[in-house]
Amino acid sequence: MIESKLSIIFLISNASVPVQIVIAILGFISVSSWAIIFGKIINFRRVKKNTNDFEREFWSGGELLDLLNKIESGKISGSMANIFEGGMREFIKSRKESNLSQAAIMDNTRRALKAASFKELDELEKKLSFLATAGSVSPYIGLFGTVWGIMQAFLSLANIQQATLANVAPGIAEALIATAIGLLAAIPAVIAFNNFSTTVEKVSTRFDTFIEEFSNILQRQPY
């Protein structure tokens, strides 16, 4: 029966070597993408929680030096806490230099805050490029397997006097499986990349807002 020979496992195990290589590559891309997706979901949730905790502590009205000590002791952590620490350290360091004006101190502090922010955003964006690449190339890799499978299916008819569905069905089916796997690898990667990119943009906006608010607070500090 044709149906008994058209199971996915049968078609993959009996596919030509190039098609099997294509399927293996797509399988690796898919597994890697899902590993990155789950890792990023956990990471972004942790960043959101840490940011909320830090902002709650920051706006509680406590002393800035006390907050810095809590961060240095590990009681408070997270991306925004690291940004605060980088800016606060530079502010304290610059204020100790007697030859610096208030404008110069604030300029140094803002640069330190921005540098810390860029560092944290770079960390959040890690491996997102893999998802973008997986989403863009997986369909083409699957298409290569499809073209190869169809080509082999028609070439196999050269030695057959009477072509039937049973002769070409396995080759066409294995070709279509390569396309399907390519799409299965690409679609989650594209969706995740777009979602995570939007999340990073929101976090970046949140960092920029904090930097401006923190800079205004420091500017009102006595010199």
Other C-beta atoms closer than 10 Å to the C-beta of 213 total 13
**Tokens read off for 155:** 């070439």
Percent of the chain with pLDDT over 90: 60
pLDDT tens-digit series, residues 203-217: 999 999 999 999 999
Question: Torsion-angle region of residue 222: left (phi > 0), alpha (psi -120 to 50) or beta?
Answer: beta
Number of domains in the chain: 1
- The domain in which residue 186 lies consists of 6-219
Residue 1 forms part of a structural domain = no
Residue 51 forms part of a structural domain = yes
Averaged pLDDT of the chain: 87
Whole-number Cα distances in Å, 47 to 41, 55, 116, 166, 203? 10, 12, 15, 56, 9
Residue 124 forms part of a structural domain = yes
pLDDT tens-digit series, residues 139-192: 999 998 888 878 777 776 666 666 565 656 666 777 788 888 999 999 999 999
Residue 50 forms part of a structural domain = yes
Lowest mean pLDDT among 27-41, 45-59, 168-182: 168-182
Residue 189 forms part of a structural domain = yes
Residue 40 forms part of a structural domain = yes
Q: What is the mean pLDDT of residues 43-68?
A: 92
